[in-house]
Structure 1
Amino acid sequence: MSLSAKAQPEQLVLALPHRQAQEAEDFLVSQSNAAAVELVDGWPDWGRAAALVTGPRGAGKSHLANVWRLRSHAHLVAAADLDDGSVGKLEERGALVVEDIDRGIASEQVLFHLLNFAREKAGSILLTSRAAPGDIEIGLPDLRSRLRAIPPVHIAPPDDALLRSVLVKLFSDRQLAVEPHVIAYIALHVDRAMDAVLGVVAACDRLSLARQGKITRAVAAAALESDAPDRDDERADADGDPEH
């Protein structure tokens, strides 16, 4: 299924507690991520061996990387796990996802070799990061130069239209009908990150079941309040958790 910023909306990391949703059809598109979607749509005609997607936690980098992985049949490895075997993975399939280069690169020499190999053998590497290469501490000068030469494609936090669409999709996946004014209220008050959105939707579901009623603005307000401590705990632990 082709992703397109002009197509039926499709984006963000819709990983529900009761099922994973990491396919192209679960990726809703808006202005905040259209450039990154166009990057995936443009493969294999990138005109370069490597591409870099940047964006804050929860913006959808991992989901987009998984869409590209499925399309390109790439292996996936975290930058913190890079070793000599990663080169064999690129050699095997000609495509590789390297996630979270801002969160530690196990072997800078291996990543430099991967980038060289992809360029020389017409391979493809998709890198993800929360920070631009210039803001990442990299000791190997050649790697630092090579990464800074890759034009980053940024995913911004979800805009209003995307946030409302994601909320509608998440509630629909739970077979919950929520009125537009309640969706608008949640979108106005929830943190613009997928972990926060997922948490509030789950809290709304729990509260509506406990109260044996529909999801009203009062239920949404209670869900937003009850989910806040959990989100604070998640943020405190964020540096040690993988992005989903």
Structure 2
Amino acid sequence: MSQIALPLTPRNKDDPARIVLGTANLHVAEALRDPERWPFRTAVLAGPPRSGKSLLARWFEGAGKGEAIDPADTLDETELFHRWNRAQEDGRPLLLVSGAQVWEIALPDLRSRIGAALHLEIGAPDDEMIAALIESHAARRGLALGEGALTYLVPRAERSFAGVERLVAAIDRLSLERKAAATLSVWRDALAAVQGPEQGKLGLDPAK
């Protein structure tokens, strides 16, 4: 598991200093490093909520790779068409970030150009990446997870970027409320809080 550093100051306290790379997004990061190979130097980046689309777009711009429009799917289509043309005239790579599950484009000229672009999509995190995301979110919060945390949490965590973020936030909140270390009882109750009471009970507790 690896990470790439953001080459600029995070916009707010919720932005991580680094982007966790794994099977879900490594192909995206590799493509963003070499935009000269994109069709028409244009790529469309999509992915699930909280998967780091905006952070990758900021890394792309901050590293001087080209221009990023985020979100592109909410921009006026005529304006977006003109910006695509300007990028082509300037020979500047263009990254378009879409938050929509399906990006419906009404303007025919824009639709044909977006259709010809390189389409990149961030997938769902696997177990290894979920472990790295838990560690990354915990480190950003200054949250010390007790021994055995990953062994307990990874199989039970929701298989999504947003779910992992909610889980670590719940662990942090409960630990602070109880003024207690983030150990088994906190992990279990955090899982119950974000996923339902049965989730924290699955399998055997590592303490037993």
> Fold match, TM over 0.5?
yes
Between the two proteins, what is the percent identity of the paired residues? Answer: 29
Output aligned runs, 1:51-70, within 5 Å.
Answer: 51-70=43-62
User: Residues 28 and 122 of structure 2 are in contact (CA less than 8 Å); yes or no, is this contact kept in structure 1?
Assistant: yes
Query: Could you say what the CA RMSD is over the residues aligned between the two structures, in angstroms?
Result: 2.9
Structure 2 portions without partners, runs of 5+: 197-208
Write the deviation string for residues 61-109 of structure 1: whole angstroms up to 9, x where unpaired.
1111111121128xxxxxxxxxxxxxxxxxxxxx43212334x33x212
Q: Structure 1: how far apart are the matches of 2:62 and 2:115?
A: 27
> What is the aligned partner in structure 1 of residue 26 from structure 2?
34
Write the deviation string for residues 187-207 of structure 1: whole angstroms up to 9, x where unpaired.
223333333322221221222
| Equivalent residues, number | 192
Of 70, 74, 99, the residue aligned with 2:70 is 99
Please give the TM-score of this superposition, normalised by the length of structure 2.
0.78
Please give the TM-score of this superposition, normalised by the length of structure 1.
0.68
Of 77, 88, 113, the residue aligned with 1:146 is 113
Match status 1:111 vs 2:80: yes
Q: Structure 2: how far apart are the matches of 1:151 and 1:58?
A: 22
SS state at 2:15 partner: coil
What is the Cα deviation at residue 43 of structure 1? 4.0
- Show structure 1 runs of 4+ deviating over 6 A: none
Match status 1:19 vs 2:13: yes
Q: Structure 2: how far apart are the matches of 1:57 and 1:40?
A: 19
User: Residues 12 and 63 of structure 1 are in contact (CA less than 8 Å); yes or no, is this contact kept in structure 2?
Assistant: no
Q: Structure 2: how far apart are the matches of 1:49 and 1:34?
A: 20
SS state at 2:40 partner: coil
Structure 1 portions without partners, runs of 5+: 1-7, 74-94, 230-244
What is the Cα deviation at residue 209 of structure 1? 2.9
> What is the aligned partner in structure 2 of residue 166 from structure 1?
133
User: Residues 22 and 67 of structure 1 are in contact (CA less than 8 Å); yes or no, is this contact kept in structure 2?
Assistant: no
Write the deviation string for residues 155-199 of structure 1: whole angstroms up to 9, x where unpaired.
112221111011112222333332463223322233333333222
- Change in Cα spacing, 1:210 to 1:57, as seen in structure 2 (3 Å) is closer
What is the Cα deviation at residue 47 of structure 1? 6.3
User: Residues 12 and 166 of structure 1 are in contact (CA less than 8 Å); yes or no, is this contact kept in structure 2?
Assistant: no
Q: Which of the two has greater helix per residue?
A: 1
